[in-house]
A and B are shown apart, each in its own frame.
Chain A
Amino acid sequence: MSETIAVIGGGPAGLEAARGVAELGGTAVLVEKESFLGGTPIRERYAALTPHFQSAEEAMGVLIDGVTSQPTAEVLLEHEVTACEGEAPDFRLTVTGPGGERVIECGSIIVATGFEHFDPGRETQLYGYYEHPDVLALQDLESMLKDHNVVRPSTGLPPERICFVQCVGSRDRHIGNEYCSKVCCGVASKEAIEVRQQLPGCKVFIFYIDMRMYGYWENQIYWPAQEEHHVQYIKGIITEVLKKGDKLLVRGEDTTMGRPMEVAMDMVILSVGMEPSKGTRAMAGILGIEPNKYGFINAANPPLDTVSTSRRGIFACGASLGPADLEDCASSGGAAAMKALAFLRRKPVKVG
């Protein structure tokens, strides 16, 4: 029987899943819509990864080599899944690419189409991302950090005061994203440390509702950010950003005093949350698997089975399931590979 497993999406989770399938002796076909592998960390030009500060390119490079070095892993770049027919273990997955259409016959499918960053224009609070050049999002700053060129877009000069605003697009009943995006507290703190390293004269502030520093992140990121790098953490989220002169005024509550406060900043970085990517939304429809109410793929048997979907033989991993950090991607990628292959190898149960 064919042990071909289609992995849709070549980001960290998909790469780990494809490598896992191949290492275990199956055949992986990795379908990626971009012309490169590595997913969002590469496309958005992430600088260093959270929490260990390794270069995104190096880390993804390791994962990519892990796949491309496998003889039983095939990579299809610039290809998108456009149709799916049949039932497990006989799926016929149509993919379309620059050369035209091709049908992949596979026994099971792993969805790893990931997330996209929340668009700050949809935020309930009044941050003016589309009005003020100096209001940016986390991934915008990543790109500047990577180039060692953190400057105010309005002047081209380095900022003297920069602040992060947490929970943008997450944890909000109006927007409908009633979840925490898990990584933004860690990522913002990591970026804060990097700013302090690249611009020692710049004051860095983080305005937050709660500081979500799960597990070892507490001591890997949060404590050093405060203790070594003197990032200022202020409990009290920002609601408005307005222009005053050539600065930005941010407005929040000084919860130590219990009073409204407004302070001037040179740059405001919005810690945007995760939403399902267009690919994730599309796969739910094309593959006929249930999304949850946020549009992420629904893990059908939580909490102990984190990768099975509502359809036999189709699994999901990484941020296509919901907010995920890199460890989640690696873990769920591996779990999906294991389950997708085990599904095919299971002896059929005799009935009667």
Chain B
Amino acid sequence: MTMTDDRSAFYKNTNVAGFDDVPFEEKERLFGLVKADMRFPDYLYGCYECGICVAACPSARFYDFSPRRIAQAAGREDVELVYQQMQEDVWECSQCFSCVRCPRGNNPGGVITVMREVAVKEGLVSAREALEGYSRIIYKIMSTGTQVSPDMLQPDAFPDWGPEVKDVSDNLDLWRRALPPETHHTTSTGWDVDEKTLLELYLIWFHTGALDMIAEVDEGLHMILQEVMEERLEDAGVEV
């Protein structure tokens, strides 16, 4: 069976309840990327199927999620099951790393971290869907070097957090200026970050390929980020 170079046919359909099926070779390829990650041998040895990871896992109590099944699927190289897990299961993990209690030394949360990265890099629709609503946060962290800034506390964004959110947003500037630490008088970032520091951060995103990963998640976001970063670097006379 030949594999078409144009994989976009499988990833264009965003209107799905489940996920699109792809040829077996594609699933093998995706699993191959997971296995080839530098960290993978540190994260997966054998599996006793003992259930310690599930017992310790918060997500297993809420979702139909099992770190044991993640370890078993990867251990057995069951590329069909791994492919399925890459669509939904991996986004249910809360990355608490309680599962590193594994007596074999496995790190199912770590395996999931690698699976997620592959899902993002390879532009899986399910990854894009999982990260919908998250673009703002990605923008903030990548461009300002801090996350969940004070001005993100808006009552329509967090109605379930209580009436204080409205108090914060109504009084934001004043309340921030009432903070004694000199670096905390900011509203659009958590603290005041030096321009030079930001440029160093941008260079890190460029040189490690982290920025490019965003292109697969949200093309518009990627474009904006790239523009902002390149502009600021140019202004400072730094070449990328």
Physical contact A–B (CB less than 8 Å): yes
| Residues in chain A within 8 A of chain B (CB atoms) | 124-125, 167, 171-174, 209-210, 236-240, 251-253, 255, 258-261
Residue B201 CB within 8 A of the other chain: no
Say whether B215 faces chain A, with CB atoms less than 8 Å apart: no
Partner of A239, one of B45, B49, B52, B61: B52
**Are A124 and B54 closer than 8 Å at their CB atoms?**
no
Q: Which residue of B lies closest to A172 (CB)?
A: B103
* C-alpha spacing A260/B62, complex, angstroms: 10
Q: Is the CB of B52 within 8 A of A253?
A: yes
Q: Which residues of A contact B56 (CB under 8 A)?
A: 239-240, 251, 260
Closest A residue to B46 by CB, please name it: A173
Number of interface residues of B (CB under 8 A): 19
Query: Are A173 and B105 interface neighbours, CB within 8 A?
Result: yes
B99 to chain A, nearest CB (A): 10
B103 touches A255 (CB 8 A): no
Pairwise interchain contact A173-B50, C-beta atoms closer than 8 A: no
CB distance from B44 to the nearest CB of A (A): 12
CA distance A251 to B48 in the complex (A): 17
Given A236-B50, A259-B60, A260-B60, answer yes or no on A251-B103 (Cβ-Cβ < 8 Å): no
Can you list, as one digit per residue, whether each of B35-63 has a CB less than 8 Å from chain A (1) or not (0)?
Answer: 00000000001001111101111001100
Give chain B nearest CB distance to A229 CB in angstroms.
Answer: 25
A174 to B69, CA, bound (A): 21
Specify which of B48, B54, B101 is in contact with A258 (CB 8 Å cutoff): B54
Q: For the complex formed, measure the closest distance between the CB of A184 and the CB atoms of chain B, giving whole angstroms.
A: 14
B94 to chain A, nearest CB (A): 13
Q: Does B66 sit at the interface, judged by CB under 8 A?
A: yes
Shortest CB-to-CB span from B60 to chain A, Å, is: 5
- Could you tell me if B52 and A125 are in contact, using CB atoms closer than 8 angstroms? yes
Q: Does B68 contact A (CB under 8 A)?
A: yes
B104 at the interface (CB under 8 A from A): yes
Q: By the criterion CB–CB under 8 Å, are A253 and B68 in contact?
A: yes
A236→B103 contact, CB < 8 A: no
**Do B60 and A237 touch across chains, with their CB atoms under 8 A apart?**
no
A172 cross-chain contacts in B, Cβ below 8 A? 103
When A and B form their complex, which 10 residue pairs have the shortest distance between CB atoms, in order from nearest? A253-B51, A173-B105, A253-B54, A172-B103, A236-B51, A209-B50, A239-B55, A239-B52, A237-B50, A252-B55
CA distance A253 to B66 in the complex (A): 10
B106 to A: closest C-beta gap in Å? 9
A174 x B51 contact (CB < 8 A):
no
Residue of B nearest to A251 (CB): B55
A236 CA to B56 CA, complexed, in Å: 12
B105–A174 touching, CB < 8 Å:
yes
Contact flags B211-234 to A (C-beta < 8 A → 1, else 0)? 000000000000000000000000
